[in-house]
Structure 1
């Protein structure tokens, strides 16, 4: 079994889900008392949030690359950034290490392709929704991304930083997300929705939606297990 390196704490609520899903999946596949070999570097989320608001991605890159190097030295065979937004600097982090960084957008694209979905709503922080790391990846797969309008993006972004990232789950916020999804089913003909922030799956589940939901945390963590158990 290979060792999985997790760069988490962004936020720690979703990092807990990464740890849980990886271990549950390893145990399901191997049975008995099997669990995953994991190295975790948990950053101070307050530092990351402050740098994000300052648009200081060089500072974020430095923190994440330093963490990745330490995990590699400690013996990690692959690396995961446990937050979608942090993939804005994924290529720089990958360049700093000699082991593969499993990119969340590539993992999600694979899941969409398996279900032959070509038009999908992307929900996440404003940096993820307005950024290009999902777009560039999906263009190669012929997948069209739809994002909410500006007002909706601000509501979603605020809910992530002020509620979900603090473990606050409100019914009115859940309704807001579901209204945005339903609106885009009608107006944009979306066939699926990407929960492109690792905190959103804490609030929105497949049972809440009438179209396929792609939980980026679950897909990313499962891909790490596939890597760890591969020959």
Structure 2
């Protein structure tokens, strides 16, 4: 029976969305009052965001690996990381635990390819948008041309994520600001590469398809759990 271990906490707001999506799927699939059979390890957001801002990526990865090892000890047979930025540790998690990682970018690229999206706008934390992990890892899986926003727009997105969304604050004014930002680019899709961004944008909010990594990844986790639900 599959027992998926989920690494959460970056941020708790996104982790709550995963929790709700997984359990909603279990109820839909099995009926009644069933819930998803999984185990969570919550990272300390205060510690992790400190490593993020200090560019202390070795320490960041070490915390994620520690959580993954705890999940393995709890009986997890696969690991899922409920954060785009935290996927920087996915390779280390797979190596250190010997468990498969249900990688966000695998399901994301499948979803974009299914809709023929070739030039998506990549939104996320500033590091996701401009760092040396997320976009290169995406291109390893996908023959497309993801567009990175300008520095000014990356600053806007970062402000909305870190000042509002991770604190559970969703402003209609910020939603309109994000919609206007997307409209400035010649793209055929939008990647919500930060798992909190689905709190403020969803498919239908823009003139092009919006791909919520949170929802797409949760679907992939549910597929992995399969008959192991409940």
Between 1:24-33 and 1:12-21, the stretch displaced more is: 24-33
- How far does the alpha carbon of each residue in 1:95-142 deviate from its partner, in whole angstroms, 9 at most, with x for none? 111211111111100110111111101100011011233333334421
CA drift of 1:94 comes to 1.6
Give the secondary-structure state (helix, strand or coil) at the position aligned to 2:35.
coil
2:108 matched to 1:111?
Answer: no
Give the secondary-structure state (helix, strand or coil) at the position aligned to 1:211.
coil
- Structure 2 partner of 1:198: 195
- Structure 1 partner of 2:149: 148
Between 1:148-157 and 1:202-211, the stretch displaced more is: 202-211
Q: What CA distance in whole angstroms lies between the structure 2 residues aligned with 1:115 and 1:30?
A: 29
- After the TM superposition, list the runs of 4 or more consecutive aligned residues in structure 1 that deviate by more than 4 angstroms: none
CA drift of 1:230 comes to 6.2
Q: Quick check: 2:109–2:141 contact (8 Å CA) kept in 1? A: no
- Structure 2 partner of 1:57: 57
Q: Quick check: 1:61–1:89 contact (8 Å CA) kept in 2? A: yes
CA drift of 1:160 comes to 0.8
- Structure 2 partner of 1:38: 38
* TM-score of the two chains, using structure 2 as the length reference: 0.94
2:7 matched to 1:7?
Answer: yes
CA drift of 1:179 comes to 0.9
Q: Quick check: 1:105–1:134 contact (8 Å CA) kept in 2? A: no
Point out where structure 2 has 5 or more consecutive residues left out of the alignment. Answer: none
CA drift of 1:21 comes to 0.5
